[in-house]
Amino acid sequence: MKLEYKWIVLINTTIGMLMASINQTIVLISLPAIFSGLHVDPLGPGQSNLLLWMLMGYSAVTTVLLVTFGRIADIFGRVRIYNLGFVVFTVGSLLCVLTPSVGTVGAIELIAFRMVQGVGGACLFANSIALLTDAFPANQRGFSLGINQIAFIAGNVVGVVLGGILAAVNWRLDFLISVPVGVFGSMWAYRALHEIGKRHPQPLDWLGNLTFAGGLLALMFGLTEALTPYGNQTMGWSNPVVVLVLGAGVILLAAFAVVETRVRYPLFDLALFRIRGFLFGNVAAFLFSLARGGLQFMFIIWLQGIWLPLHGVAYADTPLHAGIDTMPLMLGFVVCGPLGGWLSDRYGSRLLATGGILIAGVAAALLMTLPANFNLGLFAAYLALMGAGMGFFSAPNTSQIMGAVPEAHRGSAAGMRAMVLNAGMTASQAIFFTIVIASLSHNLGPALETGASQAGLTPALAHGIASLPPGAAIFAAMLGYNPISHLIPASSLATLSPAVAARISDPHFFAGLLAQPFVEGIRIALLVCVAMCVLAGVASALRGSDRRRKAAVQAQVGDLGFAGQPAQAR
């Protein structure tokens, strides 16, 4: 039986979305194996930048290029750019597998090859939603987008677990697994997909591309570098380079807004933001991404640095366990994502999207009530509730955003929506890391010194442990390292009595000292998450009813003066 074209599009774009989103997080758990294979100590002096860019380089490149590739797809064809994404992603994955060097050079090469993957991922992310919007009728669009969004969220969670499993064999398998999937997806997309949406050949807006990409790149670079220590500071927000780069990013984006109002064929037609559904849908999406983007990292750190060691799991084994323990988040989304899309097709998007994000906020508030050594069943239930809320929000919100824009602008609109989500995730990671590290800066040192003295260490060794930078504690937890091994030289450890040495080397020791300072920080982060969810709910409610939106879309095409529209419509 031959599949209808719309189902071919759904299956292929879901494969592409799953592959690209898995690679956003696949290195999170496998970082110890990757750095060990490259013979790099990521906690060594000056190496934290390598760790951060290994984590965030892929997403940074993807975020910068999303709108550009969405607009190029509107001009040259969405299928063509989507297919190119599969090919580039596959080549980038193969380059990661073949990383030739070791040491710092090898780490830099792998980061660069991950960025090549990010270029391909941008083509896939920017056009998957637009292709589905083209292929499915309005009364089935929510369901199809729900399935596609499952692939995105599920890929983020599956990447965490899959990375740990594959890296246990060889870290290069983390990237090799994408190669056959990419080859299959590329060949199938080339043979089976064809253009449905109308192409609108126009010259490229080079100045708009340069100012937008440069501004976003500066912001991504500044936010990433701000997480690294500077001088005696635990973070780099006071680093003149960070301040200068962030300022340059804001100036370039302001210049982009001016350019877009003065060119005939802009990279992104700012008149789209005069469409109420598009504007408030994207505002809600950005706030939603701010609320959840950094949480997965915080949950992983909570599990790896505190809960699992307190329950007797060796630090080396915590990464994979942490990935498995966060799976309820994905399960909640898997159940409610397509259900939310299906319901939005029948009853409208606004109520579902608004209710879904508020449910996620309730889940974050419930997580705030948990102690450091929480009940795992309650933790899983709250994660599943948060995933359910995200599922009910994501597909209806995406469906309404894409249904609100004229067909000719679906590629750039999908790119803008994806960019908003990715930018929100990067900003969220910076915000949540800053909140938690700021809390640890005040509380961790005294807790470590007191605990070390009580354990029987000399004042010099106790003071040395207390000097552990909060960022190093966070990164050590993410990597599954026992930070004590990096603070006390083996020669000093050998001078201690066997009982004292065993006590401070036990996973319980550091986890117990880290627990309360970390939980105080993550509660503040969760409070920010609740606030972002409430604001996202307000934005979602302000977008207007589906009936009014559908009645207004055609009028908006004629009244808003979109670039590239026929003269009578301008």
pTM recorded for the entire structure: 0.78
Under 8 Å between Cβ of 209 and 266: no
Q: How far apart are CA 526 and CA 291, in angstroms?
A: 8
Please check the confidence at residue 89 and state whether its pLDDT lies above 50. yes
**Any bridge partners for residue 233, and if so which?**
230
pLDDT value at residue 499 = 83
Q: Which of 23, 107, 104 is nearest to 61 (CA)?
A: 23
Q: How far apart are CA 200 and CA 194, in angstroms?
A: 16
**Any bridge partners for residue 230, and if so which?**
233
Q: Provide the b/e sequence for 517-527 (b: ≥16 CB within 10 Å).
A: bbbebbbebbe
Least reliable range by pLDDT among 96-105, 110-119, 346-355, 377-386: 346-355
Q: How far apart are CA 506 and CA 312, in angstroms?
A: 9
Q: How far apart are CA 462 and CA 120, in angstroms?
A: 49
Give the tens place of pLDDT for each residue, 235-265: 788 889 999 999 999 999 999 889 888 888 8
Q: How far apart are CA 341 and CA 335, in angstroms?
A: 11
Give the tens place of pLDDT for each residue, 522-540: 899 899 999 999 999 999 9
Under 8 Å between Cβ of 371 and 318: no
Please check the confidence at residue 486 and state whether its pLDDT lies above 70. no
Please check the confidence at residue 556 and state whether its pLDDT lies above 90. no
pLDDT value at residue 157 = 73
pLDDT value at residue 557 = 43
For residue 41, give the amino acid letter. D
DSSP 426-450: HHHHHHHHHHHHHHHHHHHHHHHHH
Looking at residues 395-415, what average pLDDT do you find? 79
Q: At CA 226, angle to CA 315 and CA 242, rounded to 5?
A: 155
Please check the confidence at residue 358 and state whether its pLDDT lies above 70. yes
Q: How far apart are CA 23 and CA 175, in angstroms?
A: 8
Please check the confidence at residue 563 and state whether its pLDDT lies above 60. no
For residue 535, give the amino acid letter. L
Give the tens place of pLDDT for each residue, 175-188: 999 999 999 999 99
Looking at residues 364-392, what average pLDDT do you find? 93
Please check the confidence at residue 361 and state whether its pLDDT lies above 80. yes
Least reliable range by pLDDT among 44-48, 252-256, 451-455: 44-48
* Torsion sign (Cα): 92, 112, 317, 490: positive
HEC letters along 14-64:
HHHHHHHHHHHHHHHHHHHHHHHHHCCCCCCCCCHHHHHHHHHHHHHHHHH
Under 8 Å between Cβ of 163 and 174: yes
pLDDT value at residue 555 = 46
